[in-house]
Amino acid sequence: VTAFLVAFSPLIAIVGVSPSADAPTNWFVLGGLWVLLIGVKKHNGWLAFAAGAIFGGACWLRVNPLLLSGFLATAIIIFDDQKSLKRIQMGGLVVLGTVLVISPIVIRNYVSFPDFTPLGGTIGINLWEGLGETDLGRSNGFLYGDHLMIERERVQMGLSPDSPIEAMWPDGIKRERARTRESLHFIAHHPFWYSGVMLRRMWGMLKVAGDPSPYYGTAGINVTSKKCLPTTQQSGILALLVNLLGMIQSVTRYALLPLAVVGCWLAISRNWIGSLLLLTIAIYYLVPGTAAHTEIRYVLSLHCVIAIFAALGLCKVIDTLALTVSKHATHS
């Protein structure tokens, strides 16, 4: 059932065919999660280490999962049913696996610059442009878009209009730290307001139905014969099947979150630690993941976790309906 929901997801479809690192990063995250779930179930430290290494592999493609192993290790240490020492060992092995895999990048960056940049930072850009998403941020000089940020910095650096400049060159690390300081200083003076900004981003990361959010990218389209087929094939059996597929996509978009809520409740009641590890993925991408500007394509793993819970909820709905029909048939 999870495969059915994933297969009909416009978001996963459009990201999957895009020439970017987002889909492969998701493969690593889901693969690591699968190995970790087995490792926790079997109390196997080697599998926990392997899971951490797989999460580290994801960091070679995108920086977003960098702290994920730490969050999962914390969940294991706090909630697993093993003895304290074993829990700490399992959590530590997850982190160790990640650290060992990403260490070549960290060492390379330190030797090249030299500076401590774990995977090449863009947090300053994302914080700064994230403030540019908001009216209050724009009224205080923050702007959304790399080109606008670069032109502002060109003026600050006293460069001529034809001088070459990029987001991370020249003096990329120095400029990145300046963006981070400026952004954090502003956020520190508006903490409650920024909490609201993060909540809106969280909803933007979850919203796959209705009009897309303005700054967070597309969640894909429902296929139709007019959108997806050549003019000569927009009628007949093939067109009918494509339109039917689009209708199913539309229904699943709206039903996904309610079903996931039901499925989450069922999952926790059946498998406490496994459910918490899945929820840790969701919390990671929704809370620290929305502290700066983000896009829905970066949280593909979150939507796969939602599909897992939604599948459990859908199975419960189907079982309940089948039981109800069976009772009515028996009474009649």
Report which residue type is found at 127. Answer: L
For residue 119, the model assigns a pLDDT of: 56
Report which residue type is found at 6. Answer: V
Residue 49 contacts residue 97 (beta carbons within 8 Å): yes
Segment 23-43, tens digit of pLDDT? 999 999 999 999 999 999 999
For residue 252, the model assigns a pLDDT of: 94
Residue 127 CB partners (closer than 8 Å, separation 6+): 179, 180, 183, 184, 187, 291, 292, 293
Instruction: Supply the pTM of this predicted model.
Output: 0.92
Dihedral Cα 66, 149, 21, 298, nearest 10 deg: 60
Closest CA to 25 of 302, 230, 225, 322: 302
Grouping H, G, I as helix, E, B as strand and the rest as coil, residue 44 is coil
Mean pLDDT on 191-213: 93
Residue 168 pLDDT > 90? no
Residue 211 pLDDT > 90? no
Segment 248-278, tens digit of pLDDT? 999 999 999 999 999 999 999 999 999 999 9
Segment 130-157, tens digit of pLDDT? 999 999 999 999 999 999 999 999 999 9
Going from N- to C-terminal start, the domains of the chain cover 2-331
Q: 3-state SS of 232-245?
A: HHCCCHHHHHHHHH
CB atoms within 10 A of CB 296: 23
Identify any residues that bridge with 166 across adjacent strands, giving them in sequence order.
169
For residue 108, the model assigns a pLDDT of: 86
CB atoms within 10 A of CB 164: 7
Q: What are phi and psi of 166, to 5 degrees?
A: -130, 175
Residue 300 pLDDT > 90? yes
In sign, the C-alpha dihedral spanning 298, 299, 303, 305 is positive
Grouping H, G, I as helix, E, B as strand and the rest as coil, residue 21 is coil
Confidence of residue 121 (pLDDT cuts 50, 70, 90): low
